Amino acid sequence: MANLSTRFFGLDLKSPVIAASSSMTGHAEQVIKLAEAGAGAIVLKSIFEEEIYLELQEELSQRSSLHADPEYLDYFDYVIKEENIKKYLKLISEVKARTNVPIVASINCVSSGEWVLFARKIEEAGADALELNMFVYPEVYKSGENDEQFYFDTITKVLQVVKIPVSIKISHYFTNLPGIVQKLSQTGISGITIFNRFYSPDIDIQSQTVVVSDVLSLPDDYILPLRWTGILSGILSCDLAATTGIHTSESALKFLLAGASAIQIASVLYIEGPLAITRMNNEIAHWMDQKGYTNLSDFRGLLSQTSSSTQAWGRVQFMKYFGEKAF
């Protein structure tokens, strides 16, 4: 019988299929269902700095007479954040009391500011690990180096505050992706997940308005993180996981073959519910049995750039494939 155990977030997981952070992981009952379905770990919905900020604005507008007092503003900022954190801490302790599946807290960070101190409270509430969902919106007046420094500063500060393992989830928006990801892997973090998927605007040509594009990923979206999993998996000093577009056991297996230790899924959970995890676990085990593999380590990374002779991961231009096509 195939053994699906793996290691990610600095933790031993019984399955490589992780329930990624989303609104599905923001309620205790749903988290328990995901655990019962066989998730290797569950990443709770992120605390968003943006969300905290919006709440703060709303409260402030109701108390306009106090706007002028900077000392009060500092205090108020703290209280509001405390309220948000309290709800989050309650969620962590509740789900920790009800399941043995590793629970990973998540913070959506765009700065290395005050929230860093709250990471310790997350640890005290019992979270097994912490994932930082990191992204800096690029602005024309800022340099790439400046934006990259945010990642290092934040990781350093968080690692000083907590003892639980810290992982990061990042986007692909870097100039030299392998260079920066390798450096990030050497900071003391336990894992890196590539790549987060963002809210993206689209255009409705009938109403001629900007609208929200599909919130959920499509099954073909896995191709971008797959390439970079193949390239990065052999050159990092921490474990690598992948997310975006992984809807089937087939795509999950591709990531394991490319060298990922785990995969994080969200969209397919919205489409199929928690049983998508059970299905993927069963199908991965079935494929391993068919191929004669006992452990994930028997085939993990077999097709990565470092372990295979293929040049395909680094090829970007189509050249001969479309150059000679006659119509």
Ligand X SMILES: Cc1cc2nc3c(=O)[nH]c(=O)nc-3n(C[C@H](O)[C@H](O)[C@H](O)COP(=O)(O)O)c2cc1C
Task: State which H helix or E strand residue 83 sits in.
Answer: helix 70-98
> What per-residue string of b and e applies to 249-263 under the rule 16 or more CB within 10 Å gives b?
bebbbbbbbbbbbbb
Query: Of 6, 112, 243, 249, which lies in the binding site for ligand X, with binding defined by CB under 6 A?
Result: 243
> 242 and 285 in contact (C-beta within 8 Å)?
no
Query: Of 73, 110, 216, 285, which lies in the binding site for ligand X, with binding defined by CB under 6 A?
Result: 216
Q: How far is 67 from 71, CA to CA, in rounded Å?
A: 10
| Residue 203 interacting with ligand X (CB under 6 A) | no
| Residue 266 interacting with ligand X (CB under 6 A) | yes
Query: Of 251, 267, 281, 304, which lies in the binding site for ligand X, with binding defined by CB under 6 A?
Result: 267
Residue (25 or 305) nearer to ligand X, CB:
25
SS (H, E, C) 188-204: CCCEEEECCCCCCEEEE
Q: How far is the CB of 227 from ligand X (least distance, A)?
A: 16
> 59 and 76 in contact (C-beta within 8 Å)?
yes
| Residue 264 interacting with ligand X (CB under 6 A) | yes
State the pairing for strand pair 41-43/103-109.
parallel
Window 37-76: residues binding ligand X (CB under 6 A): 45-46
> 76 and 60 in contact (C-beta within 8 Å)?
yes
Within 13 Å, how many C-alpha atoms sit on residue 44's CB side? Answer: 31
| Stretch touching ligand X by CB under 6 A, among 32-40, 49-57, 146-154, 266-274 | 266-274
| Residue 180 interacting with ligand X (CB under 6 A) | no
The one-letter code for the residue type at 261 is: S
DSSP for 296-309, written as a single string = GGGTTTTTSTTTS-
Respond yes or no on whether the N-terminal peptide bond of residue 195 is cis (omega within 30° of 0): yes
Single out the residue of 281, 283, 185, 271 nearest to residue 228, CA to CA. Answer: 185
> 288 and 2 in contact (C-beta within 8 Å)?
yes
Residue (45 or 81) nearer to ligand X, CB:
45
5 token code pair: 């155990």
Residue (123 or 131) nearer to ligand X, CB:
131
Q: Can you tell me which residue has the tokens 């703060």?
A: 56
| Residue 22 interacting with ligand X (CB under 6 A) | yes
Query: Of 5, 23, 149, 310, which lies in the binding site for ligand X, with binding defined by CB under 6 A?
Result: 23
Residue (5 or 23) nearer to ligand X, CB:
23
Query: Of 15, 30, 108, 305, which lies in the binding site for ligand X, with binding defined by CB under 6 A?
Result: 108
140 token code pair: 């024309």
Residue (122 or 265) nearer to ligand X, CB:
265
| Residue 242 interacting with ligand X (CB under 6 A) | no
Q: How far is the CB of 218 from ligand X (least distance, A)?
A: 8
Residue (6 or 22) nearer to ligand X, CB:
22
Residues belonging to the chain = 327
191 token code pair: 């894992």
Window 148-177: residues binding ligand X (CB under 6 A): 169
109 token code pair: 């960070």
| Residue 281 interacting with ligand X (CB under 6 A) | no
Query: Of 121, 197, 227, 300, which lies in the binding site for ligand X, with binding defined by CB under 6 A?
Result: 197
Query: Of 119, 231, 246, 258, which lies in the binding site for ligand X, with binding defined by CB under 6 A?
Result: 246
Q: How far is the CB of 135 from ligand X (least distance, A)?
A: 9
Window 283-322: residues binding ligand X (CB under 6 A): none
Q: How far is the CB of 21 from ligand X (least distance, A)?
A: 4
Q: How far is the CB of 172 from ligand X (least distance, A)?
A: 12
Q: Which residues contact ligand X by CB under 6 A? A: 20-23, 45-46, 106, 108, 133, 169, 196-197, 215-217, 243-246, 264-268
